[in-house]
């Protein structure tokens, strides 16, 4: 089998490739990645993967990369909500137009299966209960809106063209190789540097935490056993308020409470996400990581891999960007 992975140098994409190399060692993997700020070649260093540095919005490059592939797993996206609030344009181009280019190529190349990796944020904030795959999409940020649009585009290609597509929607991921502007790695690395972590508003936003290795397992399960045209939620094993997570990490890292800086809340900040994963579990999915174990391992990974994350923070344009994104209270 030959599989095209888009965005395989990113956090989730690189962890999926690592999982695939162990779970399906006979498969050939082609990685198509533009290598933006979050696409880090170090994430796949030394691994047997063909990486092509091209944009998914380039039809000719996509056609060449997809040639001879049986499967496509589409991760490539602009993903950071705060960046989408400041400048939505890149999100619309990559997340919508890029997905359309890939879908057209998949039809032309007659791939057997195409998995579009999406997010729980397309459902919007829910005060109680759990989001199910058939619920209305109510995205509240430009990022979430761009992903919801891509989800609907994928659906339209199934209905109109009978394209062999599937969609997965996952909750908040955590684990190794996550770019350090995201909440948990920013928290961990800031605490390692004795620097404060910005808590948005009252910190009572509720998030569902999914280890990236469990996410990778769920995606592979959907790729191989999912029903074409269907959507599958991949939720986490632990739900908590953001302020509870911060306190938990402080305790595990033995750091004082004064390393928390309460800042102005994000515009349009969703209050609560929660996913119903019963549909995926009917395919046989079970979580391999409990949150306590996964969080400790994640903290240890960043502590042991300072050479990986420190250059990203030193070089990061995200520092000046974060200063624009919030004001300290």
Active-site choice (33, 55, 78, 120): 120
* CB within 8 Å of 128: residues ≥ 6 apart: 272
Distance separating the N- and C-terminal Cα atoms of the chain: 54
- Decide if 250 contacts 188 (C-beta within 8 A): no
- Decide if 95 contacts 36 (C-beta within 8 A): no
Active-site choice (82, 121, 151, 270): 121
Q: How far is CA 126 from the centre of its chain?
A: 20
- Decide if 79 contacts 39 (C-beta within 8 A): no
Residue 71 DSSP SS3: strand
293 tagged catalytic = no
Token code pair at residue 118: 């999406």
194 tagged catalytic = no
- Decide if 101 contacts 32 (C-beta within 8 A): no
Active-site choice (123, 143, 273, 302): 143
Give the C-alpha separation, 184 to 265, whole Å: 17
Residues marked as catalytic = 120-121, 143
């Amino acid at each position: 089998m030959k599989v095209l992975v888009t965005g395989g140098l990113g956090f989730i994409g690189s962890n999926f490739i690592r999982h695939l190399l162990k779970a399906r060692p006979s498969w050939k993997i082609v990685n198509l990645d533009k290598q933006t700020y979050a696409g880090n070649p170090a994430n796949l260093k030394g691994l047997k993967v063909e990486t092509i540095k091209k944009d998914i919005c380039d039809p000719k490059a996509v056609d060449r990369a997809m040639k001879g592939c049986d499967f496509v797993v589409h991760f490539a996206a602009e993903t950071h909500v705060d960046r989408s609030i400041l400048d939505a344009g890149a999100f619309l181009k990559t997340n919508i137009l890029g997905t359309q280019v890939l879908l057209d190529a998949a039809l032309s190349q007659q791939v057997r299966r195409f998995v579009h990796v999406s997010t729980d944020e397309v459902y919007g904030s829910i005060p109680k209960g759990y989001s199910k795959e058939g619920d209305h999409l109510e995205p509240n940020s430009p990022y979430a809106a761009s992903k919801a649009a891509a989800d609907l585009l994928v659906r339209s290609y199934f209905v109109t063209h009978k394209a062999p597509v599937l969609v997965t929607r996952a909750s908040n991921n955590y684990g190794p190789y996550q770019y350090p502007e995201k909440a948990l790695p920013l928290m961990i690395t800031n605490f390692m540097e004795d620097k404060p972590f910005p808590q948005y508003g009252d910190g009572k936003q509720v998030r569902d935490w999914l280890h990236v290795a469990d996410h990778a397992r769920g995606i592979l399960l959907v790729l191989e056993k999912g029903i074409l045209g269907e959507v599958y939620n991949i939720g986490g094993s632990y739900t908590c308020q953001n302020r509870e997570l911060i306190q938990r990490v402080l305790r595990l890292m033995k750091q004082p409470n004064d390393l928390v800086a309460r800042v102005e809340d994000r515009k349009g900040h969703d209050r609560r996400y929660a996913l119903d994963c019963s549909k995926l579990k009917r395919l046989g999915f079970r979580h391999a990581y409990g949150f306590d174990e996964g969080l400790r391992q994640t903290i240890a990974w960043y502590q042991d891999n300072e050479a990986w994350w420190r250059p990203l923070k030193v070089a990061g344009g995200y520092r000046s960007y974060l200063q624009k994104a919030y004001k300290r209270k």
